[in-house]
Amino acid sequence: MDQENQAEQIPVPREVAVAPPTPKPASEREVAIRVRGLTVGFGTKVILKDLDLDVYRGEVLGFVGGSGTGKSVLTRTILRLVDKQAGTIEVFGKNRDTISTKDNRLLEQRFGVLFQQGALFSGLTVKQNIQIPMREYLKLSQKLMDELALLKIEMVGLAADAADKFPSELSGGMIKRAALARALSLDPDILFLDEPTSGLDPIGAAEFDELIATLQKTLGLTVFMVTHDLDSLYSICDRVAALAEKKIIAAGTIEEMLACEHPWVRSYFHGKRARQLIPAGDGHGPAS
C-alpha cells in the first residue's frame, strides 16, 4: 500500500488475543447456522454431498479446503444465491425452505456479506455502495442514510473523505474496508467473509484480521470466514471446519485440527507453510 493510501486510513487498535478463548461445549452453545445433508451440484457434477455443519452464535468459524472444493459454493448456498439439490439449512432455528418469503427477507437483513474481490459497484461512490442495502430493505431519509454510511466508514477504519471516492480511486486494502462497511450496513448478526485477506500484503492482512476481531467482539457478530490464510486461522478463529471429499471432514479448535489424523488436514496444518505457526512444544509439530 502506498504512502498516500496509508494516510487515508485510520489505524485500528490491536485487540486480538494471542489465542482465541476456549469455546463452550457444543451442547451449551446456540447454533446460528445448521446445515444437514446438503447436496449441491451443477448439471451432473456434484460439488457438495451430504454435508453437515454447525456454526455457533458469537464464534468466528474459519472454513478451509482445497481450491475448487466448494467453499464459496457453500457460502452462496446458505445465502440462497445457489440452489441446493437436497438437505436443509436452518438459520437461528428457522428452516429457510419452510418459512415465508417475508421471513426469509427478514433473515437476510441479519446477514452481512464481504465477497472476495469486494464486489463494489464501480459507478457508485463508497457512500452510495454502503447505502445499497439500506435502500433495498429500509425506508430512511437521505440525510439519515448519509449519516449511517459515514458511521460505517469510520467503523472500518477509513477516513471520512473516502465516502465520496469511487472504487477506482481506492487501494486494495481500502476496497476491502469499504466492502466491509457495506456488509455492516444493516447491523447484521452474521458476517460472511469470502477470502477477506486475499490480495493483501502481510501487514495489511494482519491489520484486517485485527479489524474483524475488534468488530466481532464489539458487535457480538457471528463470523463465517472462508480463508486460505493460516495466520487468520491462528489469530482470530474460535474453530475451523475443513472441506474435502465434498463434505466436512473435520471441525474443531486449532488444537483439535492439529491432532486430526485425516491426510488432508494433516497436510494443511503440518505443511511447510504451517510449521512456523505451530506453537513450540504443543506436541503436534511435524516430525523432523
State how far the Cα of 250 lies from the Cα of 263, in Å rounded to an integer: 11
Q: What is the mean pLDDT of residues 76-104?
A: 94
Which residue did the predictor score with more confidence, 273 or 164? 164
What pairs with residue 259 in β-bridges?
Answer: none
Nearest-Å Rg of the Cα atoms of the chain is 19
Alpha-carbon span 37 to 197, nearest angstrom: 30
Task: State the Cα–Cα distance between residues 39 and 280, nearest whole angstrom.
Answer: 40
| Mean pLDDT within 139-149 | 94
Asked whether residue 25 carries a pLDDT value surpassing 90, the answer given is no
Which residues have C-beta within 8 Å of that of residue 232, sequence separation ≥ 6?
62, 196, 197, 205, 209, 225
Q: What angle do CA 106, 112, 118 make, to 5 degrees?
A: 140
pLDDT at 29: 81
pLDDT score, position 20: 47
Q: How far apart are CA 75 and CA 195, in angstroms?
A: 11
249-253 LR contacts (CB < 8 Å, sep 24+): 251/53, 251/54, 253/20, 253/22, 253/23
pLDDT at 199: 83
More confident residue, 104 or 21: 104
Average pLDDT over all residues of the chain? 86
Q: Can you read off the three cell numbers belonging to residue 56?
A: 455457533
Closest alpha carbon to 239 in 63, 90, 74: 63
pLDDT of amino acid 70 = 87
pLDDT of residue 200: 83
Which one has a higher pLDDT value, 57 or 117? 57
**Spatial separation of the C-alpha atoms in residues 220 and 58, rounded to whole Å:** 6
Q: Per residue in 215-272, pLDDT tens?
A: 999 999 999 999 988 888 999 999 999 999 999 999 999 999 999 999 999 988 887 6
Task: Tell me how far CA of residue 99 lies from CA of 6, 35, 80, 93, 106, in angstroms.
Answer: 46, 16, 13, 11, 11
**What digits encode the pLDDT tens for the residues 39-77?**
999 988 999 999 999 999 999 999 999 888 889 899 999
In this structure, what C-alpha cell is assigned to residue 179?
A: 466492502
**Higher pLDDT, residue 97 or 21:** 97
For 252, counting Cβ atoms within 10 Å of its Cβ (0-12 exposed, 13-18 middle, 19+ buried), the class is middle
The x, y and z cell numbers of residue 127, run together, are: 457512500
The model's pLDDT over 159-196, given as tens digits with 9 standing for 90+, comes to 999 999 999 999 888 999 999 999 999 999 999 999 88
